[in-house]
Chain A
Amino acid sequence: AQRVTQPEKLLSVFKGAPVELKCNYSYSGSPELFWYVQYSRQRLQLLLRHISRESIKGFTADLNKGETSFHLKKPFAQEEDSAMYYCALSHNAGNNRKLIWGLGTSLAVNP
């Protein structure tokens, strides 16, 4: 079955602490993995996609095919990182790139 699992509904850290939001997936094929973020009262927006292999706002995520994981990491969390984070996957070829979503992790960065 195609599935994205985010085991933590809520993650609370202090400012300056490292943060890791976990994402595991199950997919019979070659997926493309994404992290989307939703800040308070804003729309969903793309944070990272695994094929870009870039760092956005200090966040990185590495696709581990052996562990079927795509964990999101940041070495020093900031208060403005507080938001809802969603891991998602799609097929990585063809036109139809419908997204399969995890349930999301709410990150709270405390001062």
Chain B
Amino acid sequence: GAGVSQSPSNKVTEKGKDVELRCDPISGHTALYWYRQSLGQGLEFLIYFQGNSAPDKSGLPSDRFSAERTGGSVSTLTIQRTQQEDSAVYLCASSAQGQPQHFGDGTRLSIL
């Protein structure tokens, strides 16, 4: 595809359920980032993947959050036992080395 693709675009789930968010980066981009945009909080970094290197997980807010990137391409962000404070827009970005990040449309997650 031409850009970063994220799915689903919207997700509504009940508190306590697990959710999986998917990101398909631009082909050939070795770096992949997840960010979260919460109301009133702005954008915050969650996790970074680069090739086969160990990911930078320093932005994950709790151990309920995890992410993986299979085969250096598609990434999945998983949130276990969701809480209402997890409601946010989750953005994925990819980049070629040293180049600016390109963003997807995001997944709007709502926890009831």
Asked if chains A and B come from one complex, the reply is: yes
24 pairs from A and B in contact (CB 8 Å cutoff): A34-B100, A44-B91, A44-B103, A45-B102, A45-B103, A46-B100, A46-B101, A88-B43, A95-B31, A96-B31, A96-B50, A97-B98, A97-B101, A98-B33, A98-B48, A98-B56, A98-B59, A99-B45, A99-B101, A101-B42, A101-B43, A101-B44, A103-B42, A104-B42
Q: Are A98 and B45 in contact (CB under 8 A)?
A: yes
A86 interface residue, CB < 8 Å from B?
A: yes
Query: In whole angstroms, what is the CA distance A74 to B35 when docked?
Result: 29
Specify the chain A residue showing the minimal Cβ separation from B43. A101
Which residues of B are at the interface with A, using a C-beta cutoff of 8 A?
Answer: 3, 31, 33, 35, 42-45, 48, 50, 53, 56, 59, 91, 95, 97-98, 100-106
Q: Are A96 and B42 in contact (CB under 8 A)?
A: no
Query: In whole angstroms, what is the CA distance A68 to B104 when docked?
Result: 30
Q: Give the shortest distance, in Å, between A75 (CB) and chain B (any CB).
A: 25
Q: Which residues of A contact B97 (CB under 8 A)?
A: 95
Query: In whole angstroms, what is the CA distance A34 to B101 when docked?
Result: 10
Q: Are A95 and B53 in contact (CB under 8 A)?
A: yes
Q: Give the shortest distance, in Å, between B51 (CB) and chain A (any CB).
A: 8
Q: Are B56 and A96 in contact (CB under 8 A)?
A: yes
Q: Which of A11-65 contact B (CB under 8 A)?
A: 34, 36, 43-46, 49
Q: Which residues of B contact A34 (CB under 8 A)?
A: 100
Specify the chain A residue showing the minimal Cβ separation from B45. A98
